[in-house]
Structure formats: C-alpha cells, structure tokens
Amino acid sequence: MRLRVVNPNTTRAMTDLIGRSARVVAGPGVTVEAVQPTTGPASIESHYEEALAAVGVLEQVRVGEGDGVDAYVVACFGDPGLDAARELARGPVVGIAEAAFHAATMVARRFSVVTSLGRTVGRAHELLDRYGFARACAGVHACEIPVLQIEAPGALDRVTAACRAAVEADDVDAVVLGCAGMAGYTGRISEAVGVPVVDGVTAATTFAAALVRAGLRTSERSEYARPPSKPVPGLLQEFAVGPAGLTAVATG
C-alpha cells in the first residue's frame, strides 16, 4: 500500500517530521511518502495561506494519482483542500483535524483542542461544527507559538502547559493537538498531563490505511463525483479537468 502524506506548506523540516510520525503507526506493508507542494506558503496561519495551500494539496494528489498512490492524508489542521482532493483521488483522503476529532471521542467523552495561534481558533470551531464534534469539544485554546517555531527550544514546555491548563479549565478527558508540527509531542505531553493526547497525523495515517484495507474509498455519487469538464485559463490551466478526468502526472 502506498500512502501519501501531504504537508500543505513548503517547509521541508516539517514535512520530514510529519513523515516520521506517520511511519511509526502506518503498519506493515504500508509505504509512507511524505511530500509537500512545489509552491505555496512556508506555514499556514491565515485563511489566505490556507487558500494558497489548497492548490498545493491538489498538485500532490494529481501527481499521486499518476504514481498509483492508494490513499492520502492532508497534514494541516485546517484540512485545506480536503473536499477537492476527494473529488480527484481514487482512494480515500483523510484530513488530520477530522481524524483527530474522531480518535479523541473513541478514547474520551469530552476533549479540548490546543492549537498554535489565536487567529486559528475560529477555523477549529468551524471544523468541529462541520464534522459534528462541537458538543464533544469543551474548548479550543491557543499556545501562541507560530507554526515554524513549534520545535524551537522551550516550545514543548509551552504546549504542555497549555494542555495542562485546558484539562483543568475545561474538565476534559483528552486533548487534541491542533497543529501537524506538534506530532512528535504526544507521548511526552500525555505523560505530563495524565490524559490521552491525540495527534491528527498519526490518527489520519491509521484511518487512511484501515480504509484501504477495508476496501473503502470516497463515494463518487453526488457531491464527491469527479469535477465537471471545463477550461481553466491562466496560471492554473494544468488543473483543468477534461472529459476523461484530471490529467494525472507521474513522477517517473
């Protein structure tokens, strides 16, 4: 099985971190490919950057379809481009926020989210509503660490402190980490705080591989059917969908 984990930003160190975290849980017979777009923002901390990053996700799905990839993970907590990617991919596509919320409710009755910056809190609430987990989430909290500084000295202590404060303030049984860059912190934070700490990268990787093993893929009926054929002039013309579908590009 080939599983492509797409880091929607263009920071190689984060792509490598995400890849390592995914490989730990992928299981036997799964080849994890950690990739990033050829163009786009270095990190995603605004709606503007999320819109740019969605194109990069589609780029990597397009290439993956040519390479015979079986499933995809969108490794940014805003789940950018998730719906569009599902319209293009033959196999399942799982977003890390979506997966983390599901996983948290499997190990706890109520959970809190600890994310990076305060300006991303609204997006987390939006996804909680959309995925049906708003009632299970007691709060969304920001540790106010920019994405590109998540691995900086002292960052783990700050994230841990934010998780501990969330557990105490919200009286919850689990914490969801709201940034793919926090993927390597789960074990240490869980031990320090005393509750399950859920990372979306590992949750999404596990779910995506399980869906492939179960023979499940995204339905092509109605909303997730292939996009209609039409021209796309200008910078994005290579993404135009023809009568036979999106032109897949193999990397060789």
For 89-116, b/e burial (b = at least 16 CB within 10 A) is bbbbbbbbbbbbbbbbbeebebbbbbbb
CATH code: domain of residue 120: 3.40.50.12500
β-strand partners of 2: 31
Whether residue 112 sits in one domain with residue 157: yes
Which residues lie below 8 Å from residue 41, measured CB to CB, with a gap of 6+?
Answer: 9, 10, 49, 52, 53
Residue 239's pLDDT is 87
Model-wide pTM > 0.75: yes
Residue 242's pLDDT is 73
252 falls within a domain: no
Residue 71's pLDDT is 98
251 falls within a domain: no
Residue 240's pLDDT is 87
Whether residue 105 sits in one domain with residue 89: no
Cα atoms in the Cβ-side hemisphere of radius 13 Å centred on 36: 19
Q: One digit per residue, pLDDT tens: the chain, 252 residues? A: 999 999 999 999 999 999 999 999 999 999 999 999 999 999 999 999 999 999 999 999 999 999 999 999 999 999 999 999 999 999 999 999 999 999 999 999 999 999 999 999 999 999 999 999 999 999 999 999 999 999 999 999 999 999 999 999 999 999 999 999 999 999 999 999 999 999 999 999 999 999 999 999 999 999 999 899 888 999 888 888 876 555 556 564
Q: What domain range includes position 110?
A: 97-199
Residue 179's pLDDT is 97
Cα atoms in the Cβ-side hemisphere of radius 13 Å centred on 143: 28
